[in-house]
């Protein structure tokens, strides 16, 4: 039996790690896109199996998303604000 550990988002303490992730962002995103393209069908099939196995899956997912949003609302709003400012700056160029 495996256990699930919830994802905890904390700022990286190590500046070398921050720099590494910042410098390799394009490569990471490219890898993630390729992975998804190669596994898109199996990911969709897994989702369908989960939904078929648990009729209340949608309710559980919505409850989880709602709780996550409420817990992280300030951080999410700040990220949205920064993203919106970034797109506005690009449109003015």
Domain map of the chain by residue range? 24-53, 56-93
pLDDT for 76 = 93
Q: What is the pTM of this model?
A: 0.51
How many other β-carbons are positioned within 10 Å of the β-carbon of residue 58? 10
DSSP string for residues in 45-66: HHHHHHHHH-TTHHHHHHHHHH
Over the stretch 10-67, which tens digit does the pLDDT of each residue have? 665 688 888 888 899 999 999 999 999 999 999 999 999 989 999 899 899 999 999 9
pLDDT for 26 = 93
Q: Are the beta carbons of 44 and 38 closer than 8 angstroms?
A: no
């Amino acid at each position: 039996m495996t256990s699930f550990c919830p994802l905890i988002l904390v700022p990286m303490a190590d500046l070398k790690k921050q720099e590494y992730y910042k410098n390799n962002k394009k490569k990471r995103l490219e890898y993630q896109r390729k992975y998804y393209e190669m596994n898109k069908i199996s990911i969709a099939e897994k989702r369908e199996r989960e939904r078929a196995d648990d009729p209340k899956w949608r309710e559980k997912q919505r409850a989880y998303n709602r709780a996550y949003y409420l817990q992280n609302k300030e951080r999410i709003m700040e990220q949205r604000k920064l993203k919106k400012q970034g797109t506005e700056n690009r449109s003015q160029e």
